[in-house]
Amino acid sequence: MRLIFIGPPGSGKGTQAKRLASLHGVPHISTGDMLRDAIDAGTELGREAAPIMAAGALVPDDLMIGIIRDRLSKADAGKGFILDGFPRTVVQAEKLDTIVGNGDHGLRVLQLLVPDEVIVKRIALRRSCPNCGAIYHLETAPPANDTLCDRDGAELTARPDDNETAVRKRLEAFHRQTLPVATFYKSQSKLREVDGVGPVDEVFERIEKSLN
């Protein structure tokens, strides 16, 4: 499986990609998670990315392409991968073609369709585990124990870019810079569109069906 998830912020890419990756035994590669790890580790990349992410804008293409080139060269990606958050611009999509090899390389692209008004509600109540990355929603997917992670008991946190101003900026970046990526793959007949509204299990079933 070589799959790309495209969707607006909060559309459920991370939730669905984690589940699909563990079912199919391929790595879930989230550029957002990789950048947040770099910020936590205090690397040069992290220092450069932090203010850009906090403002809801996109990190420069050359940095992102370098990260993905390195990650896809690792042995575990040889058997397949699920990309979550990359490519986000047409330049990134074109470069990805050269990284995985031009032509028919089995790449499929899944676009989650979720209206902006649903996004804002989802993001406001999202919490995640700073240790294991598990994603919760205080209303639709709450942890069993107050605000602690079900897996490791860590205190759940809200992301710094999940405030209203940054979310509006992230949505604008999605419409302006990432929707053309969907068009890019549609013109190559690689794109499948899936309704991302509804319970997580139902959305997952739609995704599985669209891939068969």
**CA count, 13 A, side-chain hemisphere, 208:** 11
User: For this structure, is 47 an active site residue?
Assistant: no
How far does CA 87 lie from the centroid of its chain?
10
Rounded least distance, CB 112 to ligand AP5, Å? 7
User: For this structure, is 88 an active site residue?
Assistant: yes
Rounded least distance, CB 79 to ligand AP5, Å? 22
Contacts of 40 by beta carbon, 8 Å cutoff, 6+ apart? 46
Which residue of 11, 93, 95, 156 would you call a contact of ligand AP5, by CB under 6 A?
11
Residue 64 in contact with ligand AP5, rule: CB under 6 A: yes
Q: How far apart are CA 134 and CA 142, in angstroms?
A: 11
Active-site choice (19, 95, 126, 127) = 126
Nearer to ligand AP5, 77 or 135 (CB): 135
Residue 203 in contact with ligand AP5, rule: CB under 6 A: yes
Residue 29 in contact with ligand AP5, rule: CB under 6 A: no
Which residue of 26, 29, 38, 59 would you call a contact of ligand AP5, by CB under 6 A?
59
Residue 143 in contact with ligand AP5, rule: CB under 6 A: no
Residue 206 in contact with ligand AP5, rule: CB under 6 A: no
Q: How far apart are CA 39 and CA 49, in angstroms?
A: 7
Residues that bind ligand AP5 (CB under 6 A): 7, 9-15, 31-32, 35, 52-53, 56-59, 64, 85-86, 88, 92, 122, 126, 135-137, 140-141, 170, 198, 200, 203
Which residues are identified as catalytic? 13, 88, 126, 159, 170
